[in-house]
Structure 1
Amino acid sequence: MKNLLRLSFAVIFTALVGCATPQPPVPLDQQFYTAEDKKVGLMLEAPEAPDLALEGNIGLLDYAIIAAATSSLSEHFEKQNLNEFLAVAEELSSSLEKDGLTVVRLEVPEEAPKLAKFKDPDSKDQTYYASRDHRGLVAEHGVDYLLKLKATRAGLARPYYGFVPTDDPRAVFDVHGELIDLSTNELLWYANISQSAYATGEWDEGPNFPGLTNTYYVVMNKARQDVVNALARKSDIDNIALNEVEGNAAEEESSAAESEE
């Protein structure tokens, strides 16, 4: 009976959690770039290595069968790296410091800090706040903003029904990011970035799986670039777009001239 009660409570709790309103995306507040002599604490978190994520309706016994069938693929991807994503720290530091901000690299704590819940002072407006109160980090780290980036999924994903795969594996790279104003706990930026792609051609080419491996590095690079673009100053993005347009126009003029000749 006690086990049944525990199971019932777990089901009810899961249903209640599932009904919670998810935090919508928050585009970067460009007022962030008007701050002078401000410090940004940058915290970058990533798994030790890429892995194979299993999706779908999978039983406990199915996992053992899948693990045996995918061992060579899993072992190969565990040897790959996340350097392309980790490089985003230096790229963002350079970009933010160019705009007059100071960047301080913060270590990811071994245990998540126990932060109090934060209540939105006005839930009816379009200003969003972090669910936990981060304001105490000002005194702890001496920073004005906290930029947290976490690679929540890196490697491969494949759906199953039981132990039977229902689709080919695909390369995936997901990043969760948030920028918090530590004076108010306001979210200046909040995003869940996701990139995925199937390998072109045959994927099951062990032991090196070149198609899937190359695709993994492509999607990781795209996810990193999405982070950089999301945090770029709007004028910088406009300049990049303008340069691309001018470059394309110059190429078209050159091609037209060659055709006339």
Structure 2
Amino acid sequence: MSLNFRSMFVLAAAAILLGGCATPVQQRIDLADNYFLSSKAKGGKVGVVMAELPKPDTAFPGANCLLCLGVANGMHSALNKEVQTFSTAELKPLPLDVVALLKKRGLDVVLIDEPLKIDALPDLDARGAANKSRKNFTSLKTKYNVDRLFVVHFTALGVWRSYSAYVPTDPPKAVVVGNASLIDLSTHSLEWHLPVNVSRTAVGDWDEAPNFPGLTNAYYQVLETGMDLIKKPFLQ
């Protein structure tokens, strides 16, 4: 019985947290009052980019041993297979939408039309600086001649089900997890940062193999909600 990648990731993340080596979670940072009227907003060019999208998958947080994960995967083999067919195409217009919104607010904006390999960027030592980027984006500043960077980074998509060891504790939920940031590339300070963590259960019975229509609908609904959350602060 094989373990899917997402479940292995959850197990590894739990081990890191227990070991005390986890990076503190970046908290939400709202735009400053009258941000779009400020000289800061009007000056320089903003690049908009989206990180490479993860593949939709299942995860079973709380099934925190290899045997537990094996049992969870075995119980949900049909769901695992279906979730891995879910599309991410609905997210791809988001950078263009952000560009249009920022232009309407009077900013000088350019679309960086290639997926960002964010894990390949060097880390930025932001210890003691809670409002700084965790990655160094200097290479993009130079390559695209931008002064600030609007980064959309989805880290997990798919369906999760909470467990207590071998026992499921909740129905499965469609999830979208990630964040979006507006970064001043001269200092790597965060002018705005929004964690995104949206989940939704199926309406009615979720366990309708092989296509799981309730969870499938919930998945595409959380994608839409996640995108709306990112765009909302920039609407006029």
TM-score, scaled to structure 1? 0.72
CA deviation profile, 1:89-109 (whole Å, cap 9, x unmatched): 121111122334222315313
Question: Unmatched 5+ residue regions in structure 2?
Answer: 1-14
Q: Secondary structure, in 3 states, of the residue corresponding to 2:71?
A: helix
Match of 1:112 in 2: 120
* Pairing 1:173-252 to 2, within 5 Å after superposition: 173-230=176-233, 232-233=234-235, 236=236
Partner AA of 1:84 in structure 2: E
* Pairing 1:127-166 to 2, within 5 Å after superposition: 128-135=131-138, 137-166=140-169
Partner AA of 2:55 in structure 1: A
Summarize the Cα distance change of 1:201–1:40 in structure 2 as closer, same or farther, 3 Å threshold: same
Q: Secondary structure, in 3 states, of the residue corresponding to 1:55?
A: coil
CA deviation profile, 1:4-32 (whole Å, cap 9, x unmatched): xxxxxx989932x35x6543211123535
Q: Secondary structure, in 3 states, of the residue corresponding to 1:176?
A: strand
Summarize the Cα distance change of 1:131–1:74 in structure 2 as closer, same or farther, 3 Å threshold: closer
Between structures 1 and 2, the one with greater helix share: 1
Summarize the Cα distance change of 1:67–1:140 in structure 2 as closer, same or farther, 3 Å threshold: same
Summarize the Cα distance change of 1:84–1:136 in structure 2 as closer, same or farther, 3 Å threshold: closer
Q: Quote how far apart the aligned CAs of 1:115 are.
A: 4.2
Summarize the Cα distance change of 1:65–1:57 in structure 2 as closer, same or farther, 3 Å threshold: closer
Contact 2:48 2:109 in 1 (8 A): no
Segment drifting more, 34-43 vs 162-171: 34-43
Summarize the Cα distance change of 1:21–1:65 in structure 2 as closer, same or farther, 3 Å threshold: closer
> 2: CA distance between counterparts of 1:191 and 1:185?
16
The equivalent position to 2:108 in structure 1, one of 89, 101, 107, is: 101
Match of 1:68 in 2: 74
Q: Quote how far apart the aligned CAs of 1:114 are.
A: 2.0
CA deviation profile, 1:59-103 (whole Å, cap 9, x unmatched): 112222222221111111111112222221121111122334222
Q: Quote how far apart the aligned CAs of 1:163 are.
A: 2.8
Match of 1:6 in 2: none
Contact 1:115 1:134 in 2 (8 A): no
**2:165 matches 1:170:** no
Q: Quote how far apart the aligned CAs of 1:110 are.
A: 7.2
The equivalent position to 2:83 in structure 1, one of 52, 77, 81, is: 77
Contact 2:79 2:209 in 1 (8 A): yes
Segment drifting more, 86-95 vs 102-111: 102-111
Partner AA of 1:59 in structure 2: C
Aligned CA-pair RMSD: 2.8
Partner AA of 1:182 in structure 2: L
Contact 1:173 1:219 in 2 (8 A): yes
TM-score, scaled to structure 2? 0.79
> 2: CA distance between counterparts of 1:12 and 1:72?
30
Question: Unmatched 5+ residue regions in structure 1?
Answer: 1-9, 237-261
Match of 1:14 in 2: 19
Q: Secondary structure, in 3 states, of the residue corresponding to 2:187?
A: coil
Contact 2:121 2:137 in 1 (8 A): no
Match of 2:35 in 1: 31
Q: Secondary structure, in 3 states, of the residue corresponding to 1:183?
A: coil
Identity across the alignment (%) = 28
Segment drifting more, 129-138 vs 36-45: 129-138
CA deviation profile, 1:131-173 (whole Å, cap 9, x unmatched): 4554454223311111111112211110122332222101111
The equivalent position to 1:52 in structure 2, one of 44, 50, 58, is: 58
Contact 1:37 1:102 in 2 (8 A): no
Please say which structure displays the higher CA radius of gyration.
Answer: 1
